[in-house]
């Protein structure tokens, strides 16, 4: 089984090598410090292995160059459905990727495994890993993608839109009392979004304060500390298909009536992709959060 | 000491000691936590302090005690059923079935505990029914056939879980993994009551079977010679112990190590009379798991995160058991 698979990969790799030009492109350093030799600049055929990278590629006008995507890439809706799928983010089909003859494969450090990039390089396919752990890293990722795809100007424009969008949300909620917010990513065992997460950054932009800011990243958190911190608002990023679990996720918290968020019915489910994914819809995420945190001030987008 | 001179008195002393220690462990769980205690506020209902002491801490410790009791008692039953000191309730596929059920529920979008627990319970009973049926050879439940069926079912279930995780949406894989690690959360009172009722019924059922379990230890012929229907006893034992395991695993996930270590430790103290060993293992499992869970909660202070409770059951139980094994080397352990 494994041998058959290896043979297939090898055959596909040989076919791809035969098709590709000799490796003469310029050296670039990816966002985790690996040296990558692109086959062509700008790249003409791209495979994206992460949903946020796919979103960003379309946002900077490189959508036409995308020839394959991972199974979880779902945005922009209406554009990605026609594209060939190459498998899951953790275990994509290398044969499928090589068969698409990409100039460059784009990965994300948080969604993909480094081993996938190394395996692709061994098969002669350049692989660039992006790393975008916080909103502050968005400029680097956008500019790198812009440079690699020949859409540097559009990447700058997208960056300006992002910054202007955040500034507008900040201005709208400026001077408002900042409600105390808890972001619950999973209830049992309890996981929350601490600082150094996109959701934390967006809550700051939307004029709230994350009560779990002492925690770093997505982390386990003691329930008794939640009770003691008494958040006024609980945000539940959900990725259940079409929001089917939202009502149950909200009503789960009714067992803790001492929480202000429960007493005042201020528990909100929100699509996790717009508040936790370093993609092209972060402004939408900030607007939605601002509307939830400051219903009197920020009109819903 | 004169108290320990009679086996019966010694057994009573061990059971009373375990019950007392369990009460102390529950008291400790209510007092110990990462937040400071405000006892005046804690006695008024509807305060955060009240919720912290009685629900976030004590409620969770009570659930731990109930799950621990189910694992301790079921461990004894499975070890005697398959006559193997390495057996635990998971080897016959019960927890794998529960895991497939839970993974399915999570992949379908259940984010709240009750549907997950319900599917896990259904999966556990389904696995039990399958192992039971496959283990029947000409109407008799043959332990090694059931064991083999259970081992294969475990492998099959793991493949199913990985398939579900592969097909699920991004992020769901991590959630399935969280369930598979096993953990205790403060339960809704209704869930605690339901689980307690199921576990009490299961332990009582095993207690009724205890004299026949003593006979099973003698081997098939020995059991027959003292008038025990071996075939019927094995069937009742498998169903009762699987039900007991399912009740615990459904609410807490597959928590490791309790079911294998607690019966062995208590055999060293109370011997192999199941009339004593079963309640002692239930109390011992309750004590051990609630204590480990309290330490898990406190581990947040130095670590900044709560480790899965299975980490502590193995880290604490493992060395303790190895020391006992060393001290009692040469004695009969099983």
Surface of B (112-151) touching A: CB under 8 A: 112-113, 115-116
**Alpha carbons B123 and B250: distance in angstroms, whole number:** 9
ipTM score: 0.80
Residues of chain B contacting A272 with CB distance shorter than 8 Å = 171
**Alpha carbons B200 and B240: distance in angstroms, whole number:** 11
Topology annotation, domain A177-293: Rossmann fold (3.40.50)
Which residue, among B63, B111, B175, B189, would best test binding to A if mutated, counting the most A CBs under 10 Å from its CB? B111
pTM higher than 0.90 for the full model?
A: no
Nearest one of B114, B127, B162 to B246, comparing CA atoms: B127
**Alpha carbons A202 and A93: distance in angstroms, whole number:** 34
| pLDDT at residue A245 in the model | 61
Predicted confidence band at A20 (pLDDT cuts at 50, 70, 90)? very low
For residues B140 and A209, which has the higher predicted lDDT (pLDDT)?
A: A209
Residues of chain A contacting B113 with CB distance shorter than 8 Å = 187-188, 252
CA triplet B41, B47, B52: central angle to 5 degrees?
Answer: 85
| pLDDT at residue A1 in the model | 45
With b for 16 or more beta-carbon neighbours within 10 A and e for fewer, the B211-226 pattern comes to ebbbbbeeeeeebeee
Alpha carbons within 13 A on the beta-carbon side of A84: 18
Residues of chain A contacting B51 with CB distance shorter than 8 Å = 227, 256, 258
Stretch A178-188: mean pLDDT: 92
Residues of chain B contacting A187 with CB distance shorter than 8 Å = 111-113, 185
B190 touches chain A (CB under 8 A): no
Please give the full DSSP string across chain A, using - where no structure is assigned: -HHHHHHHHHHHHHHHHHHSPPS-SPEEE-TTS-EEE-SSSS-SSEEE-SHHHHHHHHHTT-GGGEEEE-TT---STTTSTTSPB-B-SSSB-HHHHHHT--SEEEEETTTS-HHHHHHHHHTT--EEEE---SGGGHHHHHHHHHHHHT-HHHHHHHHHHHHHHHHHHHHHHTTS---EEEEEEETTTTEEE-BSSHHHHHHHHTT-EETTTTSBSEEE--HHHHHHH--SEEEEEE-SGGGTTHHHHHHGGGG-TTSHHHHTT-EEEEEHHHHHS-SS-HHHHHHHHHHHH-TTTSPP-
CB pairs A-B closer than 8 Å? 104
For residues A14 and A45, which has the higher predicted lDDT (pLDDT)?
A: A45
For residues A10 and B242, which has the higher predicted lDDT (pLDDT)?
A: B242
Residues of chain B contacting A227 with CB distance shorter than 8 Å = 35, 48, 51-52, 56
| pLDDT at residue A244 in the model | 55
Checking if the pLDDT of A24 tops 70, the result is no
Share of chain A above pLDDT 90, in %: 63
* In chain B, domain spans: 3-327
Which residue, among A218, A223, A245, would best test binding to B if mutated, counting the most B CBs under 10 Å from its CB? A223
Contact A248 B112 (CB under 8 A): yes
Q: Which two tokens stand for residue A254?
A: 């009714």
Which residue, among A91, A189, A226, A232, would best test binding to B if mutated, counting the most B CBs under 10 Å from its CB? A189
**CATH number of A2-152, picked from 3.20.20.70, 3.40.50.1980, 3.30.465.10, 2.60.40.790:** 3.40.50.1980
| pLDDT at residue A54 in the model | 97
B234 touches chain A (CB under 8 A): no
CA-based torsion, A243, B308, B258, B19: positive or negative: negative
Please give the full DSSP string across B178-218, using - where no structure is assigned: HHHH----PPPHHHHHHHHHHHHHHHHHHHHHHHHHHHHTT
For residues A13 and B135, which has the higher predicted lDDT (pLDDT)?
A: B135
Nearest residue of A to residue B191 by CA position? Answer: A255
| pLDDT at residue A68 in the model | 95
What is the dotted CATH code of the domain comprising B3-327? 1.10.3470.10
What single DSSP character describes residue B140? E
Please give the full DSSP string across A60-102, using - where no structure is assigned: TT-GGGEEEE-TT---STTTSTTSPB-B-SSSB-HHHHHHT--
Nearest one of B243, B312, B289 to B67, comparing CA atoms: B289
**Alpha carbons A276 and A202: distance in angstroms, whole number:** 9
Nearest residue of B to residue A88 by CA position? Answer: B166
List of residues 6+ apart from B333 with CB closer than 8 A? B85, B264, B267, B268, B325
For chain A, the average pLDDT equals 87
Contact B306 A241 (CB under 8 A): no
Contact A240 B111 (CB under 8 A): yes
For residues B8 and A118, which has the higher predicted lDDT (pLDDT)?
A: A118
**Alpha carbons B172 and B175: distance in angstroms, whole number:** 5
Stretch A159-166: mean pLDDT: 94
Checking if the pLDDT of A295 tops 60, the result is yes
B306 touches chain A (CB under 8 A): yes
Mind listing the pLDDT tens digit of every residue in chain B (334 residues)?
444 467 788 889 999 999 999 999 999 999 999 988 888 888 988 899 999 999 999 999 999 999 999 999 999 999 898 887 777 888 888 889 999 999 998 888 776 667 888 899 999 989 988 988 898 888 788 888 888 999 999 999 999 999 998 888 767 888 888 889 888 988 888 889 999 999 999 999 999 999 999 998 888 888 888 888 888 898 899 889 989 999 999 899 899 889 988 998 898 888 889 999 999 999 999 999 999 999 999 999 898 888 989 889 988 888 888 887 788 776 666 6
CB atoms within 10 A of CB B105: 25
* A32-71 confidence digits (pLDDT tens): 989 898 787 788 899 999 999 999 999 999 999 999 999 9
* A215-242 confidence digits (pLDDT tens): 988 899 999 999 999 999 999 988 754 5
| pLDDT at residue B3 in the model | 45
Residues of chain A contacting B111 with CB distance shorter than 8 Å = 186-187, 236, 238, 240, 245, 248-249, 252
Contact B48 A89 (CB under 8 A): no
Angstrom CA distances, A215 to A54, B105, B123, B169, B184, stand at: 29, 29, 35, 26, 20
Checking if the pLDDT of A143 tops 70, the result is yes
Q: Is B111 helix (H, G, I), strand (E, B) or coil?
A: coil
Residue with tokens 């790393």: A131
Which residue, among B56, B110, B170, would best test binding to A if mutated, counting the most A CBs under 10 Å from its CB? B170
Which residue, among A222, A236, A272, would best test binding to B if mutated, counting the most B CBs under 10 Å from its CB? A222
Residues of chain A contacting B306 with CB distance shorter than 8 Å = 189, 220-222
**Alpha carbons B9 and B6: distance in angstroms, whole number:** 5
CB atoms within 10 A of CB B125: 19
| pLDDT at residue A147 in the model | 92
Q: Cβ distance A145 to A130 under 8 Å?
A: yes
B304 touches chain A (CB under 8 A): yes
CA triplet B34, B37, B41: central angle to 5 degrees?
Answer: 135
- CATH 3.40.50.1980 domain span(s) along chain A: 2-152, 177-293
For residues B271 and A141, which has the higher predicted lDDT (pLDDT)?
A: A141
End-to-end CA distance of chain B: 25
CA-based torsion, B92, B95, B98, B103: positive or negative: negative
Angle between helices B274-298 and B58-81 (to 10 degrees): 140
Residue with tokens 């007991």: B244
| pLDDT at residue B1 in the model | 43
């Amino acid at each position: 089984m494994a041998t058959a698979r290896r043979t297939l990969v090898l055959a596909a790799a040989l076919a791809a090598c035969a098709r590709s030009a000799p490796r003469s492109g310029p050296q670039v350093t990816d966002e985790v410090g690996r040296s990558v030799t692109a086959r062509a600049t700008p790249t003409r055929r791209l495979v994206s292995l992460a949903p946020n990278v796919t979103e960003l590629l379309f946002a900077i006008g490189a959508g036409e160059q995308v020839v394959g995507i991972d199974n979880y890439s779902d945005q922009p809706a209406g554009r990605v459905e026609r594209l060939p799928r190459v498998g899951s983010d953790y275990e994509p089909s290398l044969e499928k990727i090589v068969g698409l003859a990409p100039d460059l494969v784009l990965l994300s450090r948080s969604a993909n495994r480094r081993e996938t990039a190394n395996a692709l390089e061994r098969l002669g396919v350049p692989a660039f890993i992006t790393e975008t752990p916080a909103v502050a890293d968005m400029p680097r990722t956008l500019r790198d993608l812009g440079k690699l795809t020949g859409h540097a100007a559009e990447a700058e424009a997208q960056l300006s839109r992002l910054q202007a969008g955040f500034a507008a949300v900040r201005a709208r909620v400026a001077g408002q009392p900042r409600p105390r917010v808890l972001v619950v990513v999973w209830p049992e065992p309890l996981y929350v979004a601490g600082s150094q997460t996109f959701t934390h950054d967006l809550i700051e932009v939307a004029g709230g304060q994350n009560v779990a800011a002492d925690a770093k990243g997505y982390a386990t958190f003691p329930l008794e500390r939640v009770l003691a911190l008494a958040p006024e608002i609980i945000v539940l990023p959900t990725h259940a298909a079409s929001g089917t679990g939202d009502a149950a996720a909200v009503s789960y918290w009714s067992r803790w009536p001492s929480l202000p968020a429960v007493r005042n019915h201020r528990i909100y489910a929100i699509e996790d992709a717009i508040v936790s994914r370093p993609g092209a819809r972060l402004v939408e995420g900030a607007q939605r959060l601002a509307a939830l945190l400051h219903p009197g001030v920020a009109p819903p987008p | 000491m004169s108290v320990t001179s009679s086996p019966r008195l010694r057994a009573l002393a061990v059971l009373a000691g375990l019950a007392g220690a369990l009460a102390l462990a529950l008291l400790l769980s209510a007092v110990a936590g990462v937040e400071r205690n405000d006892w005046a506020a804690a006695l008024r209902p509807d305060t955060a302090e009240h919720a912290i002491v009685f629900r976030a801490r004590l409620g969770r410790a009570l659930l731990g005690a109930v799950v621990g009791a189910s694992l301790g008692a079921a461990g004894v039953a499975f070890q005697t059923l398959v006559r193997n000191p390495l057996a635990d309730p998971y080897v016959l596929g019960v927890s794998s079935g529960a895991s497939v059920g839970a993974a399915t529920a999570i992949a379908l979008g259940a984010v709240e505990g009750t549907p997950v627990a319900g599917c896990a319970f259904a999966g556990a009973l389904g696995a039990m029914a399958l192992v039971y049926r496959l283990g029947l050879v000409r109407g008799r439940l043959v332990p090694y056939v059931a064991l083999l069926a259970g081992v294969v079912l475990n492998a099959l279930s793991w493949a199913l879980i990985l398939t579900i995780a592969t097909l699920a949406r991004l992020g769901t894989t991590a959630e399935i993994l969280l369930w598979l690690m096993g953990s205790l959360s403060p339960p809704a009172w209704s869930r605690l009551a339901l689980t307690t009722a199921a576990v009490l019924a299961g332990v009582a059922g095993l207690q009724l079977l205890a004299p026949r379990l003593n006979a099973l230890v003698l081997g098939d012929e020995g059991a027959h010679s003292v008038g025990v229907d071996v075939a019927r006893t094995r069937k009742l034992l498998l169903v009762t112990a699987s039900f007991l395991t399912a009740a615990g695993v459904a609410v807490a996930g597959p928590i490791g190590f309790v079911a294998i270590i607690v019966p062995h430790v208590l055999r060293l103290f109370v011997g192999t009379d199941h009339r004593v060993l079963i309640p002692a293992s239930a109390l011992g499992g309750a004590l051990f798991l609630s204590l480990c869970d309290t330490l898990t909660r406190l581990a947040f202070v130095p670590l900044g995160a709560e480790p899965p409770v299975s980490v502590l059951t193995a880290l604490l139980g493992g060395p303790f058991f190895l020391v006992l094994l060393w001290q009692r080397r040469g004695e009969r352990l099983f």
